[in-house]
Structure 1
Amino acid sequence: MNFFGVMIMSNEIVVVDNSLVTSAYHLTLNEQRLILCALKKIEPMVEMGENQVFYISRDDFIELGVNPDIVSQEIRQATRDLMKKSVTVKTPLGTLEMPWLSEVLRFDKNAEQKLRELYPNPDDYDDYIRALRLHNLIDSFTHRADENIVARVVFHQKILPLLSNLKKNFTQFSIQDVAEFKSTYAHRIYQLMMQYKSTGYVKITIDDLKFMLMLGLKYALFADFKKRVLDVAIDEINGKSPYNVQYELIKKGRKFVAIELKFAPKVKEKPLSEPTRDQKTIDIFDNLTDQEQDIIAQKNAYADSIGATAEHRQNLIKQALKQHQDAIQAEQEAKQRKKAERQAQKEHEKQQLELARKQYEQILASDTLINAYIANNINPQKMRASLQKMRYEQGNFREVFRMEKYKFEQLHHLRYLNLKFLQ
């Protein structure tokens, strides 16, 4: 394995080679989001092939906090900017610089109509297919059936070995941990912290940190660097991540030369212990919620109005609190049931998609099954003018079926397929 690499596990835990954490690059917030959205689609422990494509959807960016009203524009701009960016890592031979991406396809919602105008006749079919293959667009055209997809990116071939099939020297963190970050400096410093997660302590020189962040001569005054980089990042990590962090500046002579970070997971404060009470006394003031305090106040007012004895008063309060606690417990149990149902549904959907993948491969391997699929699922009279219709008119039913692949990958399409002929 060369120098560094990245992969994303299926549960959206980002796994980053340690040397990438301290490499030099500067990404905007949306460029950082774009990288994460692409990398989370990599299969864990699987080496990527050359020209492997990654589709970036509106939902990907919205989950990371982008305004849905402008999300498509944000994705398109991020792809334009990231094409110009590179990453630099220190190696034994010197600093190695490489680009992130080799190509970007920003989808045109009117692409199919334009292609039909360019290739209007069935006789143009072979030229049409050659044009798509020339630009590696065959698979992408199928994905345009999903209007949620905005762009397709391909990592540069020089960086491919550094982005997959990693086996050691990892730093890992959850995408959700950084989803609310607005500062790119917070992203980088948080990753540095996670490299030393087991100790909760990291020390780095100011020069190395500036190298990481590609600051160059920016913020030459240390006071500006502290205010606009360190304090902004630390405040955001404390406010929006699962960790609390403090830093201390290290001086050599009159100059600050290093920074120490000390951090730990956030924990809920435990209630202070109370003196031992008489077991017969109702503990009505310990750890009460606002609702419970309201209940007690109401019962005390009612007891006063009826001239209740002390024992009666206590029984009224006990009964009311028990009813309230039973209701809370019932609500929690209902939430647990719903959570279990969601998990079961998610597992069921996963199994459905796995079965659909196998069914797609089974059909693709047999001309007879392809013909049966088309007979049961495609009505040529209702086919709109499209690449798929052109293939149908040419009698190329295998290509027609290949265009149906996306339906086997999305449940809302899969449920409408008639696959009884496979039984």
Structure 2
Amino acid sequence: MSSLTDTYEKKYPENWVVMQNRIEQCFHKMTLDEKRLLILASPTARMIDASEKDAIEVTADQFANECGIKVSSAYKQLEVASKNLLNRSFSYINERGKRVGVTWVIRAVYEDGYISVCFPDEVLIMLKAFDASNPFTKYKKENVLLLKGEYSIDLYHIAKKYEGMTTFQMTLEDYKLELGLPKSYNRINNLKARALEPAIDEINEKTDINITYENVKRGRTVTGLKFTVKPKAKTQKTLEEKRDPHTADMFTIDGLSDAQLARITRNERFKSDYNHLIPPTSHINQDPNLWVDEMVSRIKKEPGFFNKKRPIREYLEN
């Protein structure tokens, strides 16, 4: 692996998802929860420079919290997703011209409250090696994991790949191929109503970008789609709208400063209540400052979640 690739490996923090573009072509075969599991596991694989022997852990609480689902159903969804990936495979041609078949996951262990998976080298390379020979796409976890539409994650990944170009075009055939659309979507009206506009609407509502599109025609026939991708302005209003409406004013009312939030995250009682959110193998657990930064960020994003076990001000009093 080149030094250039090594530089890319180290430059992205844990809240960024970075994947080779080759993964995009496999996404459309996966269920929503399989995509979520891969997205959650990918930063850990990169940060610890995982090998086939390294088990990458995802907790049910983490899965529920980051994907906006109930904890009571998260473990089962994780279990099903990992079993699906164990049975799912892809292939490539090796340097001797032979076709090689590879499963996405080579081992999965189901524990109390979390699962751990081991990826083969071929998958790990797609999650770790980024350079001119291995083009890649990056985005923040928080901007993709709340997407629930059948094709939303796929279109978001494509849009982020071309975001720097502002506009890009795809033929209808390429669009159907990238998203793995069935023949029933050959009719343009059906494709737009089920596999294009709902995904655009959800992406525009929940993520950091806005997508618009227009038809590309040859005569009267639509032959492709031209997309425009623009980043959203980061306004205070946008940040407030993402909070739970019942708890959005909590920190305004309580008047908690960043320094107080940092003190809260250092509290042993707080750590006991919430250390399950960070996988045991994460590098965050090795550096107290990284733990504080990560947890303060999470509290700010989802204050209601951290007010369930006990009023958050109690951690200042102990």
**TM-score over 0.5 (shorter chain):** yes
**Map of 2:122 onto structure 1:** 158
Question: 2:74 is matched with which residue: 71, 74, 87?
Answer: 71
List gaps (5 residues or longer) in structure 2: 237-248, 272-281, 289-318
**Map of 2:259 onto structure 1:** 340
Deviation (angstroms), 1:182: 0.7
Cα distance in 2 for residues equivalent to 1:352 and 1:223 = 48
Cα distance in 2 for residues equivalent to 1:67 and 1:191 = 25
Question: 1:264 is matched with which residue: 215, 230, 233?
Answer: 230
1:7-406 correspondence to structure 2 within 5 Å: 9-22=12-25, 25-44=28-47, 47-63=49-65, 64-87=67-90, 98-107=102-111, 147-149=112-114, 151-168=115-132, 169-267=135-233, 334-335=255-256, 337=257, 339-343=258-262, 353-354=285-286
Cα distance in 1 for residues equivalent to 2:228 and 2:100 = 31
Contact (CA 8 Å) 2:40, 2:141: kept in 1 or not? Answer: no
Taking structure 2 as the reference length, what is the TM-score of the superposition?
A: 0.66
Contact (CA 8 Å) 1:54, 1:152: kept in 2 or not? Answer: yes
Cα distance in 1 for residues equivalent to 2:122 and 2:130 = 16
Of 246-255 and 188-197, the range deviating more from structure 2: 246-255
Cα distance in 2 for residues equivalent to 1:69 and 1:24 = 26
Q: How many percent identity over aligned positions? A: 22
Cα distance in 2 for residues equivalent to 1:185 and 1:344 = 41
Counterpart residue type for residue 42 of structure 1: A
Counterpart residue type for residue 259 of structure 2: A
- After superposition, the Cα gap between the structure-2 partners of 1:355 and 1:249, relative to the gap in structure 1 and judged at 3 Å, is closer
For the pair shown, which has the larger CA radius of gyration, 1 or 2? Answer: 1
Deviation (angstroms), 1:235: 0.9
Cα distance in 2 for residues equivalent to 1:170 and 1:230 = 23
List gaps (5 residues or longer) in structure 1: 108-146, 271-327, 357-423
Residue 128 of structure 2: SS of its match in structure 1? coil
CA RMSD of aligned residues (A): 4.0
Cα distance in 2 for residues equivalent to 1:269 and 1:158 = 40
**Map of 1:136 onto structure 2:** none
Cα distance in 2 for residues equivalent to 1:333 and 1:345 = 13
Counterpart residue type for residue 140 of structure 2: S
Cα distance in 2 for residues equivalent to 1:352 and 1:86 = 32
Contact (CA 8 Å) 1:7, 1:42: kept in 2 or not? Answer: no
Residue 213 of structure 2: SS of its match in structure 1? strand
Cα distance in 2 for residues equivalent to 1:256 and 1:90 = 35
**Map of 2:293 onto structure 1:** none
Residue 163 of structure 2: SS of its match in structure 1? coil
Contact (CA 8 Å) 1:23, 1:88: kept in 2 or not? Answer: no
Deviation (angstroms), 1:14: 0.6
Of 341-350 and 197-206, the range deviating more from structure 2: 341-350
Cα distance in 2 for residues equivalent to 1:211 and 1:340 = 50
